[in-house]
Amino acid sequence: MGAIQAAIKKLLLNGMIEYNEGVSNGVNKKIYHITEKGKDYFLKWLSKPMSSKKAKNIELSKMYFMGLVMEEKRVDLIQAYINEQISK
């Protein structure tokens, strides 16, 4: 839980996300959404080649969201990852 709160705080400070507060069934709630700055940063991150050398291999998240990248770029990114795996 602490890691999530720290990540949310960092995203808020960097203007990557915003939130609206409201009450639902008598409970205070915050609804978070990504900003244009956050979308741009996320898409730039997705458009970088994947690397299996990352310790936590967050790179697999890129594969999950790859559909957000332009199709011609997707093919290049996936092929680069495959080539990296073959050369091990």
Integer CA distances (angstroms), 76 to 24, 35, 50, in order? 45, 27, 11
Domain edges within the chain = 1-38, 47-88
Each residue's pLDDT, cut to its tens digit, for the chain (88 residues) gives 578 899 999 999 999 999 999 998 999 999 999 999 999 999 998 888 877 676 566 777 788 888 888 888 888 888 888 888 888 7
DSSP 43-75: HHHHTSPP-TT-SS-THHHHHHHGGGS-HHHHH
CA dihedral 61, 65, 67, 68 (to 10 degrees): -130
The model carries a pTM of 0.62
